[in-house]
Amino acid sequence: MHVNGTHYRTVWPGEEPGVIRIIDQRKLPFAFEIEDLRSVDEVASAIRDMHVRGAGCIGATAGYGMYLAAMEASVADDFEAVLRRRAEQLIATRPTAVNLRWAVDRQLAAMAEVEWPGEKLDVAEATARAIADEDAAACRAIGEHGLELIRKLHEAKPDGEPIHILTHCNAGWLAFVDHGSATAPIYAAHAAGIPVHVWVDETRPRNQGARLTAWELGQEGVPHTVVADNVGGHLMQRGLVDLVITGTDRTTWTGDVANKIGTYLKALAARDNEVPFYVALPSSTFDWEIEDGVAGIPIEERGGEEVSHLAGLHESGEETEVRLVPEGSRTANYAFDVTPARLVSGLITERGICKAHRDSIAVMFPECVASR
């Protein structure tokens, strides 16, 4: 999508071999900075410390990270040992999003198909590009399927009234390679001339909604309003939300959805007020192993300082951190929660929209279910 009118992806290969370029998302929306990553260590840090974040984006970045791993391995004594160690290092950076492991495993499998380090390196580069391109293509397809959903809601509304869509966290293009998952239908509707207005959940503690979603919607000219995470229930109760669309970091083959902490609360409010609650995801986000998401999906606990402290733009123009809680008060920081399938109206995937139910998912992705 666009930054100051120029098209960008979130991660792409630099012109120089062995350089991966990313948008340093920690700096947004107050500064737009591109960062060069030149080693697997730098890629791992960028994922762990959230220079890049979001299911598809960290998958694609890890894919490129494996290309850097292959470069390193190709000049080492033991290609396989280096590759394995680097793969483990990348997988360990973030525990909840399944795309990370999926991308690393795909690279390992692709490289295992060929014999010589030089070939493996070529395969790794091509696979990294393919992962990124497929992510962008999947998100574009999600946009097209989700557009039909928005179009139907719009046709049922009085002329000219916008469709109000609530989203949580950032499942925008910044969370993928391009287009985004939850935002793809919004961008598609906006491009198709359907008036949309987005309620952007702030998304404490890291404020990905207030910082990233608001910024990217603004860059694309999509009307939006940032609200505290507490507000969604009230908005739905008052009929001010037509549709909720969120992303997901991992969705079980039974339809349970792990996403940014607080998503479950919005799903409960949507059900209580009969507001459709959709989750948008490329199929790389499915976990084909875990049956019970609440019991089975590991939930990342991050440092308490993300709750006790918050950074924003000071009037001096410097991004400045302030303390929010009294000295001596503990904080806890669960990064995700799991929304049970029963609360999800549907899943918007690159192949179309299906129910958040094992049977419906199996019909949409028969080959994945068969390979379990």
Six-digit token pair at 31?
Answer: 């500064």
Six-digit token pair at 301?
Answer: 């606990």
Task: Please identify, using beta-carbon distances, which residue of 248 and 349 lies nearer to a second copy.
Answer: 248
* Calpha distance 119→97 (Å, rounded): 30
Rounded to a whole number of angstroms, the minimum distance from the CB of residue 2 to a second copy is 14
Rounded to a whole number of angstroms, the minimum distance from the CB of residue 267 to a second copy is 9
Distances (CA, A) of 168 to 20, 184, 198, 279: 29, 14, 10, 11
* Calpha distance 108→123 (Å, rounded): 10
Binding site for a second copy (CB under 8 A): 29-30, 200, 202-205, 207, 210-211, 214-215, 217-218, 224-235, 237, 260-262, 264-266, 268-269, 272, 294, 299, 307-315, 319-326, 328-334, 336-338
Is the distance from CB of 57 to CB of 174 less than 8 angstroms? Answer: yes
* Calpha distance 290→151 (Å, rounded): 34
Rounded to a whole number of angstroms, the minimum distance from the CB of residue 105 to a second copy is 28
Of 135, 19, 39, which Cα lies nearest the Cα of 82?
A: 39
Task: Please identify, using beta-carbon distances, which residue of 125 and 201 lies nearer to a second copy.
Answer: 201
Rounded to a whole number of angstroms, the minimum distance from the CB of residue 295 to a second copy is 10
* Given the residues 178, 242, 249, 256, the one annotated as active site: 249
Of 28, 365, 73, 85, which Cα lies nearest the Cα of 214?
A: 28
Beta bridge partners of 34: 23
Look up 78 and say whether it is catalytic.
no
Rounded to a whole number of angstroms, the minimum distance from the CB of residue 240 to a second copy is 9
Q: From the CB of residue 81, how many other CB atoms can be counted at a distance below 10 Å?
A: 11
Q: From the CB of residue 96, how many other CB atoms can be counted at a distance below 10 Å?
A: 18
Is the distance from CB of 303 to CB of 348 less than 8 angstroms? Answer: no
Rounded to a whole number of angstroms, the minimum distance from the CB of residue 57 to a second copy is 19
Phi, psi of 74 (to 5 degrees): -70, -15
Task: Please say whether the dihedral angle defined by the alpha carbons of residues 361, 365, 366 and 368, taken in this order, is positive or negative.
Answer: negative
Q: Which residues are annotated as catalytic?
A: 249
